[in-house]
Each structure stands twice: as structure tokens, then as C-alpha cells.
Structure 1
């Protein structure tokens, strides 16, 4: 069972799940735990969901959405795994600073503590560039231009304070959907672009 959340890592995790299910000859499940408290439409969220459903369908997997409804995400994951008699779980994990490790309980450790006779596969997702070639076109120099309270993707440095970066266009879409990479504090940061508009806070 592959656990996916909203972001560009879902496709990579699902592809890893397809490889594992084929290797051990087991059915594949893709789980999304919905933590939203309402049914408000979210364009970026729907974009990712559409891609995940398509990948799951192509792989012959069952795509599941479970509402968190005030419960812990780990409890929902374990509940779904037991229901489907899952033996392997795949999750993504970003690198944490030492301070984050000290002040926030580790999601992976909490999940392991609740699992029984289930193998956990943790895929590192902090190295974004390593998996981009599987899901996005080669990056091109682009700009984020501010219009009112929003930022829009542009080929030209228009406006007063355009933000320069690299845009990685998502494969299999005609719209300007993808990731915009900027350098922040000496590290690469990837921002989500949906139909040409920035959906992440700067």
C-alpha cells in the first residue's frame, strides 16, 4: 500500500509501489488520507488527485481516500492496511533538522509503533531533482511575476520584483502545471504551479 499526500512526490511513490507489487506478486493499493475538514474545492489538490488516480488505474491498483475526521493520520493508515490485509507500506519522508527531531515526534516512528507484522518502506523525498525526470520536462529559466496578491509564471522578467527560477513542466498536461525551483538560504526550494499561478506561499 502506497500512502500519498498532496505534493509532487506522489507519482514517484506510486511508481515505487508498482515495482514492489510486481516483484512480490501482490495487489497494490494507493491511499490518500484527507485531512481537510470540508469539501471546499482545491485546484492544486484536484490536479494531484487526477494524476494519482490515473497511475493507479494504469497499474491495476485500487485508489482509496479516507477522511481523517479528527484522528491521527497514522491510525487511518494502519486501519486501512489491516482492512486490506496489507503486508508492505510505502511512505515518503523528508529530511528533518535536529531541532525538528527534538521538538516534533517523528511520523515514521509513530507509524512503526502501531504496525504489526507489516514491512515499512521509507522513500527519501528531499532530493527532488533525482525524481523529476520521471514526472516533469527539463527545467527552463522562468519568472514569477506579481499581479495583485498573486504570482504568475512568465517567460519575461516583467513587473517591479520578478522572481527568477527554473520551471519544470509536468508531463502529460497541456496546462502550465509543474514545479518552480528557486534558491533560498543556499538550498533549492520547489514551489507548486497550477495553470500558471503559484499555489504555495513564498
Structure 2
């Protein structure tokens, strides 16, 4: 069973899960623990969900969504795993997704402590650049230009404010969805989410 949340590494984790399920000859499950409100809508989230559902269908996997509703994520993972007689669990360790708690050792220890007759596979995806070529096209120079209260993706600087960076177009989509990389003052790269040509993160 692969556990995914909202971020660019979900596709990579699912593909890893497909390889593992084929290796041991077991059915594959993809689990998303949703912590959002019932009425909350996020374009970037919906984009990832669409890709993941398609990948799950192609692999013959069952895509499962569970609302957290105040419960611990570890409890939901183990509950779903036990219900489906799962023996292998795959999670990603990345500070670039909302599964940031996975980078804390206590989360992994807590999950292992609740697991029975299961193995845990932690896929290291801390660096955004690692594996980027598996999910996105090669980066091209682009700009974020301010239009009203939004920042739009552009191939040239426009208006009073333009932020230069590199745009990595996400594979398997015809729209301007992907990641926009900028260099921060400390020299570190920051990746911003672009959905349908519009910045969905805050600068």
C-alpha cells in the first residue's frame, strides 16, 4: 500500500509501489489521508488526485481516500492496511509536501509501533530535484508576473513586477501545471506550485 499526499512525489511513490507489488505478486492499494475541510477546494490538490487515480487505474490498484477528521494519520494507515491485509507499506519522506511529519522520527516510530506483520518502506525524497525528471519536463526560463491579486506564468517579463525562474511542466497534463523554481537570498532553491498557469503558493 502506497500512502500519498499532495505534492510532486506522489507519482514516484506510486510507481515504486507498482514495482513492489509486481515483485511480490500482491495487489496494490493507494491511500490518501485527506486532512482538508469538506468544503475546501484546491486546484493543485485536484490536479494531483487526478494523476494518482489514473496511475492507480492503469496499475489495477484500488485508490482509497480517507478523511482524517481529527484522528491520527498513523491510525488510519494501519486501519486501512489491516482491513485490506496489506503486508508492505510505502511512504515518502519529504519536507516539500504536507506530509512533513514523516520527516520526524516519532511519526515513523509511532507507525511501526502500530503495525503488525507489516514492513515499512520509507522512500527518501527530501530533495525536490531528486526524481524531478520522472514527473516533470526539463525546466525552461519563465516569469511570474503580477496581474491583479494573482501571479501568472509568462514566457517574458511583463508589468511592474516580474519574478524570473525556471518552470518545470508536469508530465501527463496539457495545462500549465508544474513547479516554478526560484533562487532565494540564501542561495537555496524554492519550488512553487503552478496550476493552470497561476501561482497557488504564497511568495
TM-score by length of 1: 0.92
Q: Which residue of 1 aligns with 2:6?
A: 6
Per the alignment, residue 82 of structure 2 pairs with 82
Write the distance in 2 (CA, Å) between the matches of 1:23 and 1:41. Answer: 37
Q: Which residue of 1 aligns with 2:189?
A: 188
Which stretch of the first structure deviates more once superposed, 73-82 or 158-167?
Answer: 158-167
SS in structure 1 of the partner of residue 160 of structure 2: coil
Q: State the partner residue of 1:117.
A: 117
How many residues align structurally? 197
Q: Tell me the CA shift for residue 114 of structure 1.
A: 1.6
Query: Are the structure 2 counterparts of residues 106 and 142 from structure 1 closer, same or farther at C-alpha, using a change threshold of 3 Å?
Result: farther
Runs (4 or more) in structure 1 with deviation over 3 Å come to: none
In the alignment, what sits opposite 1:107? Answer: 107
| Runs of 5+ unmatched residues, structure 2 | none
Counterpart in the other structure of 1:61: 61
Looking at structure 2, the residues matched to 9 and 69 of structure 1 have their Cα atoms a distance apart, in angstroms, of 24
* Separation in 1, partners of 2:73, 2:116: 16
Aligned position for 2:73? 73
Distance, in Å, in 2 between the alignment partners of 1:177 and 1:158 is 20
1:197 is aligned to 2:177: no
Q: CA deviation at 1:138?
A: 0.6
Take 1:182 and 1:107, find their aligned partners in 2: how far apart are those partners? 31
Q: Which runs of 5+ in 1 are unaligned?
A: none
Matched residue, 1:128: 128
What's the C-alpha RMSD, in Å, of the aligned pairs? Answer: 1.8
Distance in 1 between residues matched to 2:88 and 2:146, nearest whole Å: 45
Cα distance, 1:16–1:70 mapped onto 2, change above 3 Å = same
2:92 paired with 1:92? yes
Aligned to 1:166, what secondary structure does the other structure show? strand
TM-score normalised per structure 2:
0.91
State whether residues 95 and 124 of structure 1, in contact with CA within 8 Å, keep that contact through their aligned partners in structure 2. Answer: no
- Aligned pairs for 1:37-52 (under 5 A) are 37-52=37-52
Query: Deviations along 1:31-86, whole A, 9 cap, x unmatched?
Result: 00011122333211111100000000000100000111110111111110111111
Cα contact 1:139–1:168 (8 A) shared by 2: yes
